[in-house]
Amino acid sequence: MDKTTHVYQVYIKATPEAIWDAITRPEWTQKYGYRSIAEYDLRPGGRYRGLATPEFQQMGMPEVVVDGEVIEVDPPRRLVHTWRFLWDDNVKAEGPTTVTFDIKPGDNGVCSLTVTHELENAPTTTAQITGAIPNAGGGWAYVLSDLKTLLETGSSL
């Protein structure tokens, strides 16, 4: 938990374009992980928002549970944006962290997806994204496992 950068990598039998779409298009993001609807303005300086599902909102989450700013866009290879949880004032005060998605094509239709999350001075965000908070989900490992399953089988976990 002391690490300030966490790196997750998964191999997915899908095209780079399919992976890109699954990360950036709301019709995909609502099908895996925490079912958040992602809204991206895919240009440097554009806005990123992760919207909580109605079920999460009924449990007390705000409508916009994550926000950020797009830093770099190179479809379908790389996306960099800031990331700030908004679900309570303490985690919100940690300020923005940075998430990078790198998609690289490989052999036999398999691509690698590497997610790098830079988390300096963000202990609560780190605990959330690593799955260390009891009963709060599995963080990036869970989200990426579900993304892989959805793209390869057509069904989420």
What pLDDT is recorded for position 2? 54
68-108: per-residue pLDDT in tens? 999 999 999 999 999 999 988 999 999 999 999 999 999 99
What pLDDT is recorded for position 39? 97
Flag whether pLDDT at 135 surpasses 90.
no
Buried b (16+ CB within 10 A) or exposed e, 88-112: eeebeebebbbbbbbbeeeeeeebe
| Three-state DSSP state, 121 | coil
CA-nearest of 75, 71, 101 to 9 is 101
Flag whether pLDDT at 1 surpasses 50.
no
Does the model's pTM come out above 0.85?
yes
| Three-state DSSP state, 90 | helix
Instruction: Look at the domain 5-153 and name its fold.
Output: Alpha-D-Glucose-1,6-Bisphosphate; Chain A, domain 4 (3.30.530)
Instruction: Return the amino acid letter for 109.
Output: G
Please state, rounded to an integer, the average pLDDT across all residues of the chain: 94
